[in-house]
Structure 1
Amino acid sequence: MSRRVVVTGMGLAAGAARDRESFAKACFDGAGSIRSCTAFDPSGLSTVQFGEVEGLAAADEPNGRYFELLRQSAESFLKDTGLTKEEIASWGTRCRMFFGTLIFSSDAFYRHSLRKKAGAAGSDSFIAHMNDFSAYAKSLLGVEGSLSIVSSSCAAGKTAAGMALDYIRNGLSERAIVGGVDALSIVTAYGFNALKSLSADTSNPFDESRDGINIGECGAFFLFESLEGAKARGARILGEIAGYALGNDAYHITSPRPDGEGAYRVMQDALKDAGITPADIGCINAHGTGTLANDAMEMKALEKLFGDVGHEIALSSTKALLGHCMGASGAIELASVLLSLTEQKYIPMPRLATRIGDAQNLRLSDESFTLDAEYAIKNSFAFSGNSAALVVRRYEKGKERAV
């Protein structure tokens, strides 16, 4: 019998929020962080709208924002869990870290290239320091166990969570700190601009008028641990990670498979891993980027799997509020799923006007409403076919489900 895995704390930096209470209020109120970019000069791009974290210090080096997001998320995590670095260190190698990201090295390399082009000296050791963020992340939280960095494109944060689930389930670790951080990046902005994937205004997932993404930034950390361990130390439990699956549809380097079969399969596999059926799901947090191709593909997969379950399922995309936070999107969106299940509230998409899709039991809304959901599924569908789905269960003391 595999061990049950629960979440007993979270820390984050997203929009104006630096704790789960303020993040929950912003989500349920539909208060987004997409605004005119101040992190860098966007004048050469097709949009100026980005999902910025408020209050970050101005920095000539974009990586300054990255390290600040790391620090703020870690501080929020320690406050939320009530732990200290010393307590985490005392767990030794029985606490590991799993971390999803993809932006840090790209902007670091870009700045390095500019300095070299300008004839700057003394930067030959740059490559050896490209991944300094990983050592910094461990040091912020006192982790002494192994660190696994995942860069499976925009499925990285969700993949990191799945890896942690496997390690704890199988007794390879008692606890894991799981997270993801990505800051706004010049390289990423111009890359998506070249792909013509940026929204001219503000992203509107699953709407007929959608025209692309807003790139966002965030940081988030979670404490995963066995249910037995959490109970033994009297930890507050925020939810259960019930199952996950990874996949790759091997269709195209940037475009999703149009018929949604890859997305359909990975969701099926995640439900199977959790030991439930589509009818058990009450809430879906979609990848929902706001691009024509992704939303159409994902809606096809969702309708095929959930369109005939016989009851209403709430469907939402947190990217409508925060933008697409790249490799960290799966991490911050896990926070929104846990809060939705805990509070039994829907996270609205404030600009939704004319929804796509024919399955009317999949309910999308521009306003929050009360949920009746025990299970949620969280999707991440990324470049190169990388995909991940995570099943989250509402935790109610005394109602632990046996497997």
Structure 2
Amino acid sequence: MTNVLDRIGDVSASLVDLYKDLHAHPELSFAEHRTAGIVADRLRDLGFEVHSGVGGTGVVGVLRNGSNLRNTSSLRNSSSLRNSSGATVLLRADMDALPVEEVTGLDYASTERGTDKEGNDVPIMHACGHDMHVVALLGAARILSETVDSWSGTLEVLFQPAEELGAGAQAMVDDGLYDRIPKPDVVLGQHVAPAPAGIVGLHSGAAFAAADSMLVRMFGRGGHGSRPETTIDPIVMAASAVMRLQTVVSREIAGSDIGVLTVGQFHAGTKNNIIADHAEFGLSIRTVNPEVRARVLDAVHRIVRAEAQASGALREPELIAQESFPVLINDGAACDRVSAAFRGVFGEHGVIDPGPVTGSEDVGILADAAGAPLVYWLLGGADPEAYLKAATAGTVEEDIASNHSPRYAPVIQPTLDNGITALTTAALEWLS
């Protein structure tokens, strides 16, 4: 292990320019063509068998090194798997960016624009850190490909499209992912977070929430702004629905249950003195318990329809389901094993249990389709000194940008070193 990890500093330093390049050239979901091409070329140079175009723009590299084991019964017994002749390990990173205009002020900040799935021209930014995920996994792939005398088994490195839509993992599975590569014995991955760099966070069991996105359209009767009595104002109708929806979590689910309901967009009208015909808004729901999920979704439908009726709408509202993510479940035994390995590298205080988080991830689909356990952790990406200063002042929320913020960008070092270290360490737990 020491011989392998000793190489990380040099490998990480060689990837800084690539990280800046990917950050400056982000791509939207299912449009990650440039990123996928760079990834495929680098994996071929490292000696991986490369599968491109999986699920659209997905890339998978396979490196077979010695004997391989696929034994689901021993998989559940960590001691048996530890003594085996080598497992199949899948390491995953996502590649897509977001329609966000970057305001970080970095000299490698994105100025890219693109077309979203609705056909709108939008700015593009790696506001969720997927560029860091890609480069860290490429670093781990290089480290492991150059130290094949230190492990045995099959290494699979998967670069997934469209995580932000909750669609990329399923697209790769549906496109015959596991007909192209062996089913893994374990799926491992990480997500950079606004915690201090040097911290990794793992939670056993339900670790990331399920997510449901929905577009709501409410219909009124348009007219002149000077004569509202001749209209049915859809903005008032929709605004009332938005406000009433804020009571769902606070009044319809127990305080001990996890639930978040966010309205992230609202669109209506074209001019100040025109009452529009319709208004629409988009919302995101996060839950962990299936019964809570059903209750919240039912409440959304009930409230939207009731507000339309109360306003005298002549047409029923439309509630259109969009992105959906399942609950991410970390396997208990596998999570314990990775946690122990991380403590040996990052120290006792460098490994925390963050509890369930209300963010969502679709990586669990890859594990479920393979019948394999999943271990997915958070990787601190904030400057440690800046975080400590903000924590001391009580200004973390103001001073430390979070994922999806136009100000978000992880500090390159030591985040990249730690990301490569975490992936390599976790993989070697299974690659005997």
- Structure with the higher strand share, 1 or 2: 2
TM tier, shorter chain? Answer: under 0.3
The structure number with the bigger radius of gyration is: 2
Q: TM-score, normalised by structure 2?
A: 0.24
* Normalised TM-score (structure 1): 0.25
